[in-house]
Structure 1
């Protein structure tokens, strides 16, 4: 009994040291650059790179796929584990492009806090709004980082007003910039009044030079910009825009920090805010609606699958967020969906594309299970009494193509590749008796997902494909009782989603869908859901 109590105490203590968070933003807001800068300031790496690397600056650690490096965008999420000041930070970098939203939403199911990254010139953009809606549906705490203050942009008070007016999140700035956007001098810490002057290092690949100045010295050095910043800080105080832990954790207010990720301005302050404010792991609600305490026996949920991170090994990795208990490499877990045992002999911690064997892990940690052939996104693994967490919903696709192997002799490779990409959630794979297995329909949120499929099918599975677009733009869930009647209608096709057996009705457009719903009210045409938000809003 004493040993069990000791393990529970250890798990609770270790869980308290964890901070698991994701960075979310609109494309080109600087998300991957911020991820790299956070790793730099935590001393996890010695030199930062930008997505569009120049000179001898390498590509970002989190953008490890060849396509990501070629195109300068994040295509898949990446996990980075960072040790910093006695804390373990599990940072999940996510794709910013709207076409890869589904991967981002899966990641949001695995974190306890989100860093909402805003471009100082653009403020809240469409993709940021969509991502925040999911955070709000889950009552997830959000820390806001206003990026690119070293470039021309908007007034800081204007940005705060936009946050409050458009998304109903009360902004509570923790620091305040001295110098307008494009003339970034430094930051005032609102809690202490301390001013930190910042100077960019050559190339921006190392930490910025920070110099702390007394108010009198700051006034002398910065002149009118200092006076302007001080007046704005006094206004914030008069408005009561002060940090409140209770409303932050309830998802009602957001601490705001200003900075510029590329020259590493303000990144250290953000890192300290994450450590000090982001919540540690807490009990997760299982599929029965019951909370699973962090000190309970081991349990975790797979939120991402990824194959061929190491092309020389052709492996398949399942990324699992630990919800409760202590993980020890080699322990035999139970796969909730099948009831079969799963051995964890080959388990790793991942830092971008780099890996290392992990012996123990605790709630909040993300571990990679190697060669997890039987596991799929959303699956629960557990030890002890059975537990299963709610499934991670799939999005309603809006783009569809028929995939065929260009070389009939590569049919086995074709089938293997399609099955693998389906398991990873790169696309949804739909089939029917009419089309057959040799011509599956690939369904995606955005057309760039098909580019990823074509690239990976050719380079990883050596089975190039032809992708022929289909004239559908709406998907609805249906059932066997409605399928025959829907089949008989023009502009509709019913297919089965391979990963879960759901029947989806594909319709040419929303106008045609409205006509069918009006003329055939008895047929089941149910909107798909994702993350607690109706997908058609996206």
Structure 2
């Protein structure tokens, strides 16, 4: 937590927008955000990713690697509106940052690479935005690059994302001749010199583009008047809608998810940023304005600043100065010094200070209210996804719990070992802080080796985490080779009764449990149900049975990997008035689970990745052949400019070190991206290898 603070309390603008900038890695999110900071006057110089001097990527690792690792928030003002902006990572390993950011935002700007178009992580982030019902704008960036193709990207949006892209602008010039856009709402040309800070020039549409502009203008008008019977009737009678009517229609359709407005530009060349800001204010929602799902049901509390407090903690940052908790306030007000109730845990905590965040700088606030995103200092036990409310009797009597943030399961492990005794003492504390910050990380002790196992979403995430251990927490650790995070599951139902009975002179142990295990669909996780009746097992012992089941599931029964996607149902049991205890029932549950799982035809699961390889066409055959040798299945291929795109599914086990092999295979000209697609049964040879190990 940077202690560079400003104690003044900025006034909140009449209009408020909470937006995220999302995209595939290297599409230009951070560059776009840096230009937003410059053109709104928040920054007086332009930060560049390649120069390592950006405002939003302030972490030393971000600047060294040239990528965004952590989501970063800032506040800017444009045309009388306050815009809270969160710049998110594009790499799949850090997708938890996108997920928890989108959970608390009201809208998003999706940045597309004008050459690559809709890339895999763009699709993933788009689906996340769908999940949270976020209205979006599309900004097709990098139109100055060789191979940029604006209409192709628009069509890719339609085909791959299943949306109606509403083209609001058409580029003037292509590749290195790109110099401006046609504003199809106002029917005018907007031209830029490319020099940061020089004003946009408004000119008539070039003669050679008038006919094309008229075609796209007609499509725009038709899409808008279809939403409004009065406009439609007037249009059919030959009355063209005004620019004001068009903008109102664009806003209605955007908030309803009918279409996605599409804008054009090149953030790096300072072209198209001001119209993008105009569109954010004009077309994206204010807090509470679009909190409805597709069925019309409210997805959030009403954004009433005078109502009872409802806030969601979505990020925790811990460093030498303490803990800072980022929250979105959905209803009510929160003041420094207030005591809040964490309805997810039932605990109360006191807020000592409030901050408005500007990347690594913080401006102290006296209070925040519905719609605000801010950071709190003083909360020690609040975690990502937990709900904060007031601490009154009504809050306790009817606790509100907002929708949680889904945390993905890790797919890759590394063993870490402290170098010295001093490192050993600091390691546990440091790992606790890192897992609190990034809930997509997991830490466990290997039962056999005693090693500390760190699990995450990919090699890059684990590499970054280990570097944080060394640089930020000053813990020197050795790191083992990355390993696949296998899982186990069952394939049929089984029911077992187990009696746990011990007598050793003193109080005995007695617990009898009948448990039924049944497989669930992939991705369903672990469920526990109590179907015992007639007091066969007293209610106070049922949580112990569940705890035993979950503890045993963590160790698996085939090769020691966590067992997932099953339902455990407590059917029956017996107890002894004197010898039964919580411990006895937990031990009985562990034993009965292991026996039932062995009888339920268990199997090992391995993570299978969705892999996209972009390669020159002359190397296409070599790339496909190599993927097949890695147990991959090619789902399709398509041309992209002068290259070919291969869409495949490959087990993660076969993808370690792939980038080096791919470069050697294609003379360094190919690239790839991958993300977890699903878990599938591992082949018998892989299972045998794991069991033997």
Task: Give TM-score, length-normalised by structure 1.
Answer: 0.81
The DSSP-based 3-state class of the residue aligned with 2:327 is strand
Cα distance change, pair 378–51 in 1 and its aligned pair in 2 (3 A): same
Q: CA deviation at 1:176?
A: 1.6
Correspondence 1:493 to 2:561: yes
Correspondence 1:331 to 2:331: no
Q: CA deviation at 1:457?
A: 0.8
Which of 283, 286, 300 matches 1:280? 286
Which of 270, 274, 280 matches 1:268? 274
Q: C-alpha separation between the residues in 1 aligned to 2:486 and 2:321?
A: 35
- Give 1:136-285 correspondences, 5 Å limit: 136-201=130-195, 206-213=196-203, 215=204, 218-219=205-206, 224=208, 226-227=209-210, 229-230=212-213, 233-234=216-217, 236-237=219-220, 240=223, 244-282=250-288
In structure 1, stretches of 5+ residues that fail to align are: 1-12, 497-515, 528-533
Which of 278, 281, 304 matches 2:315? 304
Q: C-alpha separation between the residues in 1 aligned to 2:599 and 2:211?
A: 64
Corresponding residue of 1:121: 115
The DSSP-based 3-state class of the residue aligned with 1:153 is coil
> Aligned residues, how many?
479
Correspondence 1:413 to 2:426: yes
Contact 1:208 1:263 in 2 (8 A): no
Q: CA deviation at 1:231?
A: 5.3
- Give 1:324-473 correspondences, 5 Å limit: 324-383=331-390, 384=392, 385=395, 386-425=399-438, 427-432=440-445, 434=447, 439-469=451-481, 471-473=483-485
Which deviates the most, 338-347 or 71-80?
338-347
Please report the RMSD computed on the Cα atoms of aligned residues, expressed in angstroms. Answer: 3.3
Q: C-alpha separation between the residues in 1 aligned to 2:473 and 2:217?
A: 61
The DSSP-based 3-state class of the residue aligned with 1:209 is coil
Deviations 1:210-242 (A, max 9, x none): 1111x2xx53xxx53x34653553564587488
Q: CA deviation at 1:449?
A: 1.2
In structure 2, stretches of 5+ residues that fail to align are: 1-10, 225-245, 488-522, 528-547, 565-595, 608-674, 680-693
Q: CA deviation at 1:164?
A: 0.8
Contact 1:179 1:229 in 2 (8 A): no
Correspondence 1:51 to 2:52: no
Q: C-alpha separation between the residues in 2 aligned to 1:485 and 1:293?
A: 41
Cα distance change, pair 390–524 in 1 and its aligned pair in 2 (3 A): farther
Q: CA deviation at 1:64?
A: 1.0
Task: Give TM-score, length-normalised by structure 2.
Answer: 0.64
The DSSP-based 3-state class of the residue aligned with 2:414 is strand
The DSSP-based 3-state class of the residue aligned with 2:402 is coil
Contact 1:50 1:60 in 2 (8 A): yes
Q: C-alpha separation between the residues in 1 aligned to 2:452 and 2:13?
A: 44
Cα distance change, pair 240–194 in 1 and its aligned pair in 2 (3 A): same
Higher relative contact order (CA 8 A, sep 6+): 1
Contact 1:94 1:104 in 2 (8 A): yes
Deviations 1:150-172 (A, max 9, x none): 22234322221111111111011
Corresponding residue of 2:40: 42
Which deviates the most, 237-246 or 169-178?
237-246
The DSSP-based 3-state class of the residue aligned with 2:159 is helix
Contact 2:192 2:270 in 1 (8 A): no
Q: C-alpha separation between the residues in 1 aligned to 2:415 and 2:345?
A: 31
Which protein shows a greater Rg?
Answer: 2
Q: C-alpha separation between the residues in 2 aligned to 1:418 and 1:478?
A: 25
The DSSP-based 3-state class of the residue aligned with 1:134 is helix
Corresponding residue of 2:65: 71
Cα distance change, pair 461–14 in 1 and its aligned pair in 2 (3 A): closer
